[in-house]
Amino acid sequence: MTETPSKFDYDLIVIGSGPSGRTAAIQAAKLKRRVLVIDRKDRLGGVSVHTGTVPSKTLRETVLNLTGWRERSFYGRAYRVKDQIKAEDLKARLHMTLDHEVDVLEHQFNRNHVDMLAGMAHFTGPNEVEVEVEAGDTTRVTGEKFLIATGTRTYRPDTVPFNGKTVVDGDEFLEMEEIPRSLIVVGAGVIGVEYATMFSALDVRVTLIEPRDSFLDFIDQRLIEEFTHQIRENGVDLRLGSAIESIEDEGSHIEVTLENGRHVRGEMLLFAAGRMGNTDRLNLKAVGLETDHRGRLEVERKTYQTKVPHIYATGDVIGHPSLASTSLQQGRVAACHAMDVPTVPESPWFPYGIYSVPEMSTCGMSEEELKERGVPYEVGIARFRETSRGHIMGLEHGMLKMLFSLKTRRVLGVQIVGEGATELIHIAQAVLNLKGTVDYFVQNTFNYPTLAEAYKIAGLDAFNRMPIPDEYKDLRAPSKAKKAPAKKAEATKDAPAKKDKAAE
């Protein structure tokens, strides 16, 4: 029996090759479907590979290695692996990493027979896109299903005098020619906080400006307090509640005037206050779709379908949580649904990682959320300096906080700040998703010495203040006053046993 030829060129057309676009394309290809990936750049990977996740995390690792940051508690603040660190030193590792990422991605597409097309795409009808492949040249392709995974771009207000050298956005920041002696970062979101703390580790004088009175509000406030103390100790001048009146490029320096009358000067300014969805050139009106004021699309969160059933959207273009990790999962789920193939649903709890210096990572609910919901809870806290591994590594800071339900004893949330936080959080993620309790951390043995031992310490911290479950009460030693003599026990071994109320 021969297959009926499809009236479309492809079963799935993916616009964008970032994390969600990549996994969607590969998943659909593994289901033996015809897949095309369109990307505006001639190198695959999207924002995540070229200007976002991978570059910023590579930069962080390079900074920590070249500065000897992790060893300074032993050898002093003046310790350096390399005395004179230049912009070229930061870029060398970056380019090697990006080349490797692109090579792996191209190999995955070739191995799975995913077609690729470089160019700017826009819809011309419900099932057709036109792609500007070269200057003036276009090609049209049709698809049965579409996935929009175009990601986001930096928000660039007209009031900021961007020049690509001393006043830059997050994408331009990585192309700096020299490391500045002083840096002003506007916006204490994830990107702003990460870059501000990285360059503080380079001993650059950093001023971080945030117009609101708080920052990273989705993170547990106890963790933010700990983090704020550490970054200020590391030299970051954090200005909260400081709305900006003007930004002036004075040639020799950048001057920022705040509404409270204060002035901030620096050699370079990084504007990192928000991002916009890359949807303005897709001609979404041709398919009946609209975006919000930030250019983001609304989707059904279980399937990632837009209001147009055959068009899906995933990744940063749909907004929160805007993580590479969640985007990878979203693309796979969307592709399975689009190809009408059942798949395992996404787990309810995922980790959130912020690659600042120090790292922060959370999973589950914060203490503020529990208070708002009126959930009775207990807190367990461990300091990294309480662990032997912390001493070995010379860690002066670092904290792990766990929240437990007093009613069910279940883990409700875990927050970590300090070295290895984004790795350690996965233990919490597993226990949360498996509906584990505080007892797991008390009963189980952790490798010694490790930072993961902090889970045991925090678990015991909470366990010792929580009511003992009835099933554990029989494990306590009986009272000496009521303990029957051994001989008498032997003589009456056939008699009915009496209840020991002390043991109960």
What is the largest distance, in Å, between two alpha-carbon atoms of the chain? 103
SS3 per-residue string spanning 135-178: CCEEEEEEEEEEEECCCEEECCCCCCCCCCCCEEEHHHHCCCCC
pLDDT for residue 481:
47
- Summarize pLDDT for 480-500 with one digit per residue, the tens: 545 555 554 444 444 444 444
pLDDT confidence bin for 476, thresholds 50/70/90: low
Q: What is the pTM of this model?
A: 0.89
pLDDT for residue 478:
64
pLDDT confidence bin for 387, thresholds 50/70/90: very high
pLDDT for residue 503:
34
User: Above 60 in pLDDT, residue 258?
Assistant: yes
- Summarize pLDDT for 337-346 with one digit per residue, the tens: 999 999 988 8
Q: Residue length, the chain?
A: 504
Question: Residue 492 to residues 149, 486, 497, 499, 501: CA-CA distances in angstroms?
Answer: 77, 10, 9, 15, 19
Contact 428, 363 (CB under 8 A): yes
Contacts 24+ apart (CB under 8 A), 107-113: 108/22, 108/26, 109/25, 109/26, 109/37, 109/44, 112/25, 112/26, 112/29, 112/30, 113/29, 113/35
For residue 466, with 0-12 CB atoms within 10 Å meaning exposed, 13-18 middle and 19 or more buried, which class applies?
A: middle
Residues 6+ apart with CB under 8 A from 358: 197, 227, 230, 397, 398, 417, 418, 419, 421
Two tokens at 397? 């800071």
Q: Which CATH class is domain 352-470?
A: alpha beta
- Summarize pLDDT for 87-111 with one digit per residue, the tens: 999 988 888 898 899 999 999 999 9
Is the backbone of residue 15 left (phi > 0), alpha (psi -120 to 50) or beta? Answer: beta
- Summarize pLDDT for 101-156 with one digit per residue, the tens: 999 999 999 999 999 999 999 999 999 999 998 777 899 999 999 999 999 999 99
Pairing type for strands 137-148 and 311-313 reads parallel
Contact 224, 255 (CB under 8 A): no
- Summarize pLDDT for 291-339 with one digit per residue, the tens: 999 999 999 999 999 999 999 999 999 999 999 999 999 999 999 999 9
Which residues make up the CATH 3.50.50.60 domain(s) of the chain? 10-154+276-338, 167-273
- Residue whose C-alpha is closest to residue 147's, from 253, 27, 59, 231: 27
pLDDT confidence bin for 234, thresholds 50/70/90: very high
Percent of the chain residues topping a pLDDT of 70: 93
pLDDT confidence bin for 447, thresholds 50/70/90: very high
Tell me which CATH code domain 10-154+276-338 carries. 3.50.50.60
pLDDT confidence bin for 73, thresholds 50/70/90: confident
Between 4-8, 36-40, 241-245, 274-278, the lowest mean confidence (pLDDT) is in: 4-8
- Residue whose C-alpha is closest to residue 460's, from 367, 386, 394, 407: 386
User: Above 90 in pLDDT, residue 169?
Assistant: yes
**What is the rounded average pLDDT for all residues in the chain?**
91
User: Above 60 in pLDDT, residue 215?
Assistant: yes
Q: CATH: 3.40.50.410, 3.40.50.1460, 3.10.350.10, 3.50.50.60. Which one for 167-273?
A: 3.50.50.60
Run of H or E residues at 57: helix 53-67
pLDDT for residue 477:
63
DSSP 368-400: HHHHHHT--EEEEEEEGGGSHHHHHHT----EE
Distance CA 418, CA 338 (A): 41
DSSP 79-146: --SSSS--HHHHHHHHHHHHHHHHHHHHHHHHHTT-EEEESEEEEEETTEEEEEEETTEEEEEEEEEE
User: Between residues 484 and 68, which one has the greater pLDDT?
Assistant: 68
pLDDT for residue 490:
46
Which residues make up the CATH 3.30.390.30 domain(s) of the chain? 352-470
pLDDT for residue 485:
53
pLDDT confidence bin for 428, thresholds 50/70/90: very high
